[in-house]
């Protein structure tokens, strides 16, 4: 495990349960996400991964249990409150944003906190204009970072599926995120752009200290990015370990492929 990881987990899920009607989807589940890690979450269809994500992200209420961020109870906070604390998840570019350019999509992300003012206000005609310019500069840096500079003036709706995913990741960079939840970001992305996506996640993790919790069906992506990997099955943690440990665990293989006699 990475030596820079600190002891207190950045996210702790403690004994969380959730049922839909009679279906117990999350069953007294506890996980920890180490600060500075790229933690993977895998599991068969219907295991409860997205449900757990939604509970962490504040978009779905739990039936019982707690979610902590840096030791503080965030169980009942709204996505907006969590955003301001640096916990965010990627969303598909919404329909209304598809008519804006890639650059404008980045500029639309509200600032999480006041940016540093490099120039004193009297240098600019108005504070608003100065702030707009700062946001624009930041958006230009981000769009270069994610290698979409060549399509910055293209409408977001015209970007390829993979480029949209990169743009989603870019939107998290417009704020100073601490923890980013990625829900199946590799789905529908071609291999070339997937390499870009992986590189960007690695750079955000290593250079900017982002922690990631990643739900992914793409095992190549999990293998390249994630340590540790948490395996969820029927709303419970089946195991946690390195990708090698996970791949070599007969219980995990059975959960995915059924019992092989």
Ligand X SMILES: Nc1ncnc2c1ncn2[C@@H]1O[C@H](COP(=O)(O)OP(=O)(O)OP(=O)(O)O)[C@@H](O)[C@H]1O
- Chain residues binding ligand X by CB under 6 A are 20, 25, 43, 45-51
Cβ proximity to ligand X: between 61 and 209 the closer is 61
| Structure tokens that stand for 169 in this block | 């990741």
Cβ proximity to ligand X: between 51 and 105 the closer is 51
Which one-letter DSSP state was computed for residue 155? B
Smallest distance, ligand X to C-beta of residue 200, A: 23
Helix (H) or strand (E) holding 14: strand 9-20
Smallest distance, ligand X to C-beta of residue 143, A: 30
- CA quadruple 146, 152, 155, 159: dihedral positive or negative? negative
**Half-sphere exposure (CA, 13 Å, Cβ side) for 46?**
6
Which one-letter DSSP state was computed for residue 97? G
Smallest distance, ligand X to C-beta of residue 202, A: 24
Cβ proximity to ligand X: between 47 and 169 the closer is 47
Q: CA 66, CA 215: separation in Å to the nearest integer?
A: 20
Cβ proximity to ligand X: between 202 and 256 the closer is 256
Q: Where are the alpha helices (DSSP H) in 63-149?
A: 79-84, 102-107, 127-145
Cβ proximity to ligand X: between 16 and 103 the closer is 16
User: Which residues have C-beta within 8 Å of that of residue 234, sequence separation ≥ 6?
Assistant: 27, 47, 48
| Structure tokens that stand for 212 in this block | 């990631």
Smallest distance, ligand X to C-beta of residue 46, A: 4
Smallest distance, ligand X to C-beta of residue 47, A: 4
């Amino acid at each position: 495990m990475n030596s820079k990881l600190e002891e207190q987990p950045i996210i702790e899920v403690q004994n969380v349960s959730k049922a839909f009607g009679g279906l117990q989807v999350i069953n007294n589940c506890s996980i920890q996400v180490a600060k500075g890690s790229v933690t993977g979450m895998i599991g068969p269809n219907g295991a409860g991964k997205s449900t757990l994500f939604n509970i962490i992200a504040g978009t779905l209420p739990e039936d019982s249990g707690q979610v902590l961020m840096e030791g503080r109870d965030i169980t009942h906070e709204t996505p907006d409150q969590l955003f301001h604390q640096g916990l965010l998840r990627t969303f598909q570019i919404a329909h209304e944003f598809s008519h804006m350019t890639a650059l404008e999509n980045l500029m639309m992300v509200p600032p999480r906190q006041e940016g540093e003012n490099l120039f004193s206000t009297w240098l600019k005609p108005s504070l608003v204009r100065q702030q707009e310019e700062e946001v624009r500069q930041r958006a230009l840096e981000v769009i270069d970072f994610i290698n979409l500079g060549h399509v910055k003036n293209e409408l977001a709706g015209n970007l390829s599926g993979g480029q949209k995913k990169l743009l989603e990741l870019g939107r998290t960079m417009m704020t100073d995120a601490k923890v980013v939840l990625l829900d199946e970001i590799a789905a529908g992305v071609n291999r070339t752009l997937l390499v870009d996506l992986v590189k960007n996640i690695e750079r955000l993790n290593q250079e900017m200290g982002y922690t990631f919790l990643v739900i992914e069906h793409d095992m190549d992506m999990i293998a390249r990015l994630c340590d540790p990997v948490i395996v969820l099955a029927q709303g419970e943690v089946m195991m946690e370990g390195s990708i090698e440990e996970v791949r070599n665990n007969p219980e995990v293989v059975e959960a995915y492929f059924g019992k092989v006699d």
